[in-house]
């Protein structure tokens, strides 16, 4: 199975700041990567697919990049509603695997 290593595990940032979350795959996943946002008590919500495509309705301050084994999610101009946990997922090869998550808090 492909292992997904996500960092950092937690992150504290101020409103208006730019934050970056990283995800590394144990092998090339050819951009088969999605990012999800999850708020407490809710189901995960899709943000990014194909490593860099923004899902419908997701604010443009979210962006994804990367290739091969290294990927990142960037949030520009952090808003209070962005406080959540974020997960990466590879869907290049079954079983699809998730990163351990990043908990984003306000400083």
Partner 1 sequence: EVQLQQSGPELQRPGASVKLSCKASGYTFTEYYMYWVKQRPKQGLELIGRIDPEDGSTDYVEKFKNKATLTADTSSNTAYMQLSSLTSEDTATYFCARAYSIYILEIWFAYWGQGTLVTVSS
Residues that bind partner 1 (CB under 8 A): 1, 32, 34, 36, 42-46, 49-50, 55, 87, 89, 91, 94-101
In whole angstroms, the minimum distance from the beta carbon of 77 to partner 1 comes to 25
Question: For partner 1, which is the closer residue by CB, 16 or 57?
Answer: 57
Residue 67 β-bridge partners = 70
Question: For partner 1, which is the closer residue by CB, 17 or 93?
Answer: 93
In whole angstroms, the minimum distance from the beta carbon of 18 to partner 1 comes to 24
Asked if residues 34 and 23 have their Cβ atoms less than 8 Å apart, the reply is: no
The CA R_g of the chain, rounded to the nearest whole Å, is 13
Show Cβ contacts of residue 39 under 8 Å, excluding neighbours closer than 6 positions. 83, 84, 85
Q: Which two tokens mark 87? A: 């997960």
Question: For partner 1, which is the closer residue by CB, 13 or 46?
Answer: 46
């Amino acid at each position: 199975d492909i292992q997904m290593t996500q960092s950092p595990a937690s992150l504290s940032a101020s409103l208006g700041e730019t934050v970056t979350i990283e995800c590394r795959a144990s092998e090339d996943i050819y951009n088969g990567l999605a990012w999800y946002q999850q708020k407490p008590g809710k189901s995960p919500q899709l943000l990014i697919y194909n490593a860099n495509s923004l899902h419908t309705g997701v604010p443009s301050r979210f962006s994804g990049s990367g290739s091969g084994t290294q990927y990142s999610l960037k949030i520009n101009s952090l808003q209070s509603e962005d406080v959540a946990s974020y997960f990466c997922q590879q869907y290049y090869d079954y079983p699809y695997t998730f990163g351990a998550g990043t908990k984003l808090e306000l400083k």
